Amino acid sequence: MNNKANWIEEAWQQVVTKIDRTSYSIGASFPNGSRDGRYTKSPAHDWVSGFWPGLLWLVYQETQNERLKDLAVQCEREISQSLWEFDSLHHDVGFMFGLSSINQYKLLQDEEAKRHGLMAASLLAGRFNPAGGFIRAWPNWGGEDHSGWAIIDCMMNLPLLYWASREIADPRYRLIAEIHADTVLREFVLADGSVHHIVCFDPETGERITAIAGQGYAADSAWSRGAAWALYGFALSFAYTGKVTYLLAAKKVARFFLDHLPADFVPYWDFRLPAEDEGMPRDSSAAAIAASGLLELASLLPEADGREYKRSAESILRSLYENYTARESDDEGLLLHATGYFAEDIYVDTPLIFGDYYYVEALRKLKNNGRK
């Protein structure tokens, strides 16, 4: 076994051992960010709720650990109850139901889970604003009017719509996803491949009003996790539609992301921090998301064309394994040094459940040579 295979197998075994252990303390709940070595828990309607069952499904597929499967099924049952809590939902039903219900349907042929996924797709389609050609992100939380807000993260929710169109042979869901992706390409992606987090539209006319910082350093900066969402999201849109414009967009954002990485391949939380702020925290979750997106991109290209993306993903994952995993501690998280929302001091320099999920997803792809 060569050195490359050694570190990948070691990293995977570390994941399996840790998920088996933490599954006892986390149970059928919904971890979010880590505080003092333990994950805080969110309600079932929170955007992060799908990542823990998604993680359990990833490990279950390799180990056939029935206890992990049972926990994932319990989580899906709780998440599905949010379908009847309309006011609590948002565009992130793609993350929620894609990783829980759709996986459960695919792996267990669970028809009820399939119906939950289709209901969630219908709710997501219902957030589409035809005037501006975008999917509205959030309800009017916090006293703010979000009726014209779209965010880059939604590129990762579009697979729920693509899946629904294929499942029931109805193009409407796919067409909504494509219109939204086209709007993101036009209004979010800058000439250099960086992306905005939030773009605000007039909800009546669809006219673009402005971009705002969101979780980035500034409106004209480059939030690293946003770039990772865009890279992966456009690659998935190309996978589902075959539209070359999405492939080119994924490559463009990937180039920006890779060109702006520091020496250890794990980005700061924003790529355009002022020089005096270069000591700011990293975001290991952005690195993990990008690594899985790069492997997705590589799998969609001829081997020679995808080689650079796969090699870059390997470099990111190896650095995460060697320098960012919590193997020397009993922290419930897998990846240290992620940054949730820096400006609001929410989960800064700590594990995040979605960072853990995409790290394991990418590691499994690499271990299985692209097989999902």
Task: Give tens-digit pLDDT for 118-141.
Answer: 999 999 999 999 999 999 999 998
The radius of gyration of the chain's CA atoms, rounded to the nearest angstrom, is: 19
Mean predicted confidence (pLDDT) in 197-221: 97
Q: Which residues are CB-contacts of 64 (< 8 A; sequence separation ≥ 6)?
A: none
pLDDT of residue 4: 61
Query: What percent of the chain is modeled with pLDDT above 90?
Result: 92
Instruction: Report residue 16 as tokens.
Output: 């399996």
The pLDDT of residue 275 is 78
268-285 as b/e: b if 16+ CB within 10 A: bbbbbbeeeeeebebbbb
The number of beta carbons lying within 10 Å of the beta carbon of residue 215 is 23
Return the domain boundaries, the chain. 3-367
Tell if the pTM clears 0.95, that is, is over it: yes
End-to-end CA distance of the chain: 23
Report the pLDDT averaged over residues 184-192: 98
Active site residue 92: yes
Query: What digits encode the pLDDT tens for the residues 92-105?
Result: 999 999 999 999 99
Considering the chain, what percentage of its residues have pLDDT values greater than 70?
98
pLDDT at position 341 is 97
Q: Is the pLDDT of residue 2 over 60?
A: no
Write down the pLDDT at residue 124: 98
Q: Please check the confidence at residue 46 and state whether its pLDDT lies above 90.
A: yes
> Could you read off the pLDDT of 297-314 as tens digits, one per residue?
999 999 999 999 999 999
Please state which CATH number belongs to domain 3-367. Answer: 1.50.10.10
Say which of 46, 70, 87, 92 is annotated catalytic. 92
Largest CA distance in the chain: 61
What confidence score (pLDDT) does residue 87 get?
A: 83
Q: Identity (one letter) of the amino acid at 155? A: M
Give the per-residue pLDDT at 142: 84
Name the more confident of 143 and 186: 186
- Average pLDDT across the chain, whole number: 96
Would the pLDDT of 1 be above 60?
no
Q: Is 264 among the catalytic positions?
A: no
State the pLDDT at residue 279.
Answer: 77
36, 70, 153, 356: which is the annotated catalytic residue?
Answer: 153
